[in-house]
Amino acid sequence: MTHIINSVFDLQQKNKYALRLTTATERIDKLHLLKSTIQRYEKEIYAALQTDLRKSKFESGVTELIFIYSEIDFAIKNLKGWMSPRYAGKSFTGLLAKNRIYYQPRGICLIISPWNYPFQLMMSPLISAIAAGNCAILKPSEFSPATSAVIAKIIRKAFKKEEIACFEGDESLAKALLELPFDHIFFTGSTAVGKIVMKAAAQHLTSVTLELGGKSPVIIDETAAVKNAATKIAWGKLVNAGQTCIAPDYVFVHQTKLEEFITFYKSAASHMFLNENGQANESSYAKIINLKHFDRLTALIKDAVNKGAEIVWGGDYVVLEHTINPVLLINADLNSKIMQEEIFGPILPIIPYTELETVIRMINEKSKPLALYMFSESKPAIRQVLKSTSSGGACINDVLIHISNPNLPFGGVNGSGMGNCHGFFGFKTFSHERAVVFQSSVNMSGMIYPPYEKKGWILKMLEKLM
């Protein structure tokens, strides 16, 4: 396998210079080809997502395929403008110069995607890589093998391996790929593996984009419309059985709204994801990806309960079907694993509070999350939270939806990631911003050349201008 990988990498190394010269029209044609090939394999994609995660066709359509079609269409519509050089302002030493920013392809990019949204999270960065004019090698997750196989089939059908190639395999394959001197690495996954990727990239001074995760908090204050908040949080927490990097991880609920929130959350979650017997409705509720992650989640619940947490609703599970019904916890010890680790499952700890300052302090004591959500009708409180906290993105009176707007950057900060994706921000991620100065024949810079005798007045003038 190493021999094949190196061979493909060498082919792309030779081809990347030709791709650098491709026009917007040529890249748009490739995006059209990608879209039409995906459409050809739609049935197989839906079947694969059902196999890997028990995703319904509707959920797969909304969160995976339609999401990708929208991204492709947005890139096609805007690519010519993205590729155009940007104008930049002048400086004192270049008053007669023209300044531009050119967007150049990085070269050969490695894209490593996770298993939770296995189609979307591979195709989204690939769209940006193609739009920016790069070669790419793709490594989909081995934990969603059915979807990975369809992705590989689509790539082989649409592209030559010297442009886009896909390799399926486990962590040994990822390790072999990370030893190569890529021009950029785009990784989506856990913080722990993100550190491994960044360390490997450092050996070649390769730039990286890390889309990680973290414990994304929710705040429901005393002014919030609780029924609306509970419904949105239940959807955001339980879609894909909670296996979403920006899912609400835990929720601060003002003490005066606690019982109301629990009641409405139970009602909304039951209506959306459970059947009349209170068990998982398999036509709308996904499964946990595998037994390893199932066992991790049930262990989190047991650890929390052993340390004083109370299950106020739910907790049933079926091992053979990798299904955990929605769980609401209260009074979880802040030092328990469930309050320290990203949950990535259908378990929602609730923390009652009375003072917003306490909530802000508790959020800031943790690593910066990928998302932060707040439900409130108080503009001062909203301003206070946004000013006093840091997160990759944020939504006020909603959850998750910021990821669906290609006009917004999507990415983390520190422990939740680095760099952005989607739309123009994804195009920039896979591009080098090259500063270019077109100087006139008049040498204004000569004023600062040696010899420096009798040029003290120039220094004083520059100090005033600066």
Give me the active site residues, please. Answer: 211, 245
Residue 314 dihedral angles phi and psi, to the nearest 5°: 80, -160
Question: What are the angstrom distances between the C-alpha of 162 and each of 36, 38, 85, 124, 152?
Answer: 20, 20, 28, 20, 15
- What are the structure tokens assigned to 402, written together? 């910021």
Q: What is the DSSP secondary-structure string of 75-118? A: HHHHHHHHHSPEEE---GGGTT-EEEEEEEE-SEEEEE--SSST
Instruction: For the beta carbon of residue 451, count every other beta carbon within 10 angstroms.
Output: 6
Residue with tokens 């790539």: 155
- What are the structure tokens assigned to 348, written together? 């929602």
Q: What gap in Å lies between CA 65 and CA 71, rounded to an integer? A: 10
Order of strands, sheet of 164-166, starting from the edge strand that comes earlier in the sequence:
164-166, 135-139, 108-112, 184-188, 207-211, 417-418
**Angle 120-131/24-40 helices, nearest 10 degrees?**
160
Q: What gap in Å lies between CA 295 and CA 319, rounded to an integer? A: 9
